[in-house]
Chain A
Amino acid sequence: MPIIEIPGLTRRSEFIWELQPRGAMRVPVVVYATEALMKGMDAKVFEQAGNVASLPGIVDACHVMPDAHWGYGFPIGGVAAFDEREGGVVSAGGVGFDISCGVRALRTGLPAARVASVAEELASELARVIPAGVGSEGRLRLDDAEMEAMLLGGASWAVERGYGRAGDLEFIEERGRMAGARPDEVSVQAKRRQRPEMGTLGSGNHYLEVQRVAYLVDEVAAAAFGVSKDEALVSIHCGSRGLGHQIGTDFLMRMAAESARRGPRPPDRELACAPIASELGRSYLGAMRAGINCALANRQILTHLARMAFAAVLPEADLTLIYDVSHNTCKVETHGGRALHVHRKGATRAFGPGHPDLPAPYRSVGQPVLVGGTMGTASYILAGAKGGGSPAWSSACHGAGRAMSRHEAARRWSGRRVAADLAARGILVRSASLRGVAEEAPGAYKDVTAVVEAAERSGLARTVARLEPLVCVKG
């Protein structure tokens, strides 16, 4: 059934759509999208968002970002807040397996033309120092004590161990260290899975890109973020690696088993969750926060490696952190005086101007929102919406969103051809897997510009700058 004809769907404004509560739904579903994006959205997104809207303790609405596509449990691009005092729940499927997957962007202090002049050498050096792809291993091996310190300390731990600068921490959500982490709630299997993977990029849609600032839209915000037209930037997209994946697996299975035992079963098994005020809920939150710290530490180590690669090829470069955002999280935030557990799965926190958690240089313009695109199109820097942030619990989109399956993409494109076509356009791709390059072909994704336009016009965030790739190290 075409999305637009779903019964109960109303158009609240040109870019905001609402599905009224029906059946077990306690609150409406609100979607932020253009008509074209709505028409291209899988109907399963609405089914999943409707199921989320039926969970106990949900507040206000289940919000759906313009890049949404169907996931498991929550749709990817789903945002939902729960009130512990009203029986609210926490859901492992509402965060995702790649806990705290996110993007960080760095200035290089160099014109893109200077970087482009040594692009081949830089691409090869980055590919040499950044462990990327399935089975790649980092140089760091943490013993039990160091693993615990990392899970408690996040990026702050990494900086203490010499990976990066103390000044980086101000420009990371939570100042680089998520409070409330419980390493003792993280399984032995999760820690074992992580041992060879500290400081690795991962695979699939994870990447390290060198990008050119193609144009600025909001020059005031760009100036506050220290971003100039035609400057080269570096963006890193990755998450909590094997540790986060195993935490997600462990708790999804435990929540499903507990739901089956406690009964009644949720409308959909994949919506397995636990009351926030339960032993299992608290265990998950403690483990998930440790997973957030793992992701923050991992991106910090990768930043250090990127700095080493630049130092070898472009010694005049100075990589300084713009910001680091996570787009798979559950965080306790105060909205309208209420403490809520806000799940963002494939959605970015986007605090508006004036929010006290923002670093001082950004407080007047709002939080940088880093939206990753494809290796052939563009990425964007947005800023949190004015007037107290977006209506979706201060959240915005996170990327382009897939338009077709990996299987279909690999059938349509050859990795060698995709890489050659990109090279002809001045974009160098380095990857251990040609099939991986085919599956990540730019044509396999939605139009990121349309997603960003929808985010802007529906009031989720403001566009600041467009970034276009020069070098892409693929996971």
Chain B
Amino acid sequence: MAEPRHGGSRLLVVDDNKVNRLLLARNIELMGHKVVTVENGRVALQTVKREPFDLMLLDIEMPEMDGFQVLSELAKDLELRDLPVIVTSSLEGLDNVVRCIELGAEDYLTKPVNPVLLKARIGASLEKKRLRDQQKELVRRFATAEVAEDLQQTGFSLGGKRVSGSVLFADIREFTPLAESQPPEETIELLNTYYTLMFNAISGQGGIVSQIAGDGLMAVFGAPLPLADHCDAAVRAALEMIEMIDLFNVEQASASKPQIRIGIGIASGEMVAGYTGTNERATYTCIGDTVNVASRLEGHTKAAERSILIDAETRAGLAPEINVDSLGPVAIRGKAQPVEIFAVKPGK
């Protein structure tokens, strides 16, 4: 995992009091960040509209435009609403703290600010911003334009909604021995190629990749935007993924490099989709029984000796030209009743 690039971030300190400004700036510089200081809220808004910043430290009690007003203005601005703000104030009263948080402040520190606490909070806020930027980038790159736009508009608030969709899990079989048999650089290159191919197949069918971990990935069809034929789309993506892997293996074989095989599990139904996690770290994902079933089906592909396994709900939503074999009911961990399983036949 890459080192968080916290050093060298740009911070804006907003405080009408010179002693406070100097001291905060000093503490931040000692952490290795760059800092710009301004005297009031009005100048702060002008400054963040003009130059990029990673984080704002905001005082509340200020002439001209106070911190509450700054928070409100930032929340209204599509470009600026994701700029994290830590309120630093010696304001009296818990209701004021609550008001700051409600207005979108990420954190609240009482002045005089404890430098250790300040460092920890700044680190956490920058990390959160980094993840948010990454999430945006991920959405921009791997989602359709409509999905990306929907996410931009609805924002990244925690909390889910109930949706109907299909979940796809894919995993490289026997990946560990494969990874151990070749230099790490080649494994990374192989993974990069693999993910590029998989992402292409998934986004080509209107899905989004919501998680990747090691050699596995999870994709969602039908969220954040509804997809009428999500079962069909997910299975078509899976077929395309298998086809891509076959082509990839031909290339690998001709270069005398190892070939890979993947297993794919798909389940469909109701799930809760949205940003889950904590305020520190959140990710767009789907949760619920459907997700568990998809993951179990993927795990079962090896035993079943099939590349693509789907559940009955997914089967019911398929176009007639896609051929499946019924494998009958299979016991699945976490499910009281055996689950009807179908294998999708590659090719037509």
Chain A bound to chain B: no
Q: Which residues of B contact A (CB under 8 A)?
A: none
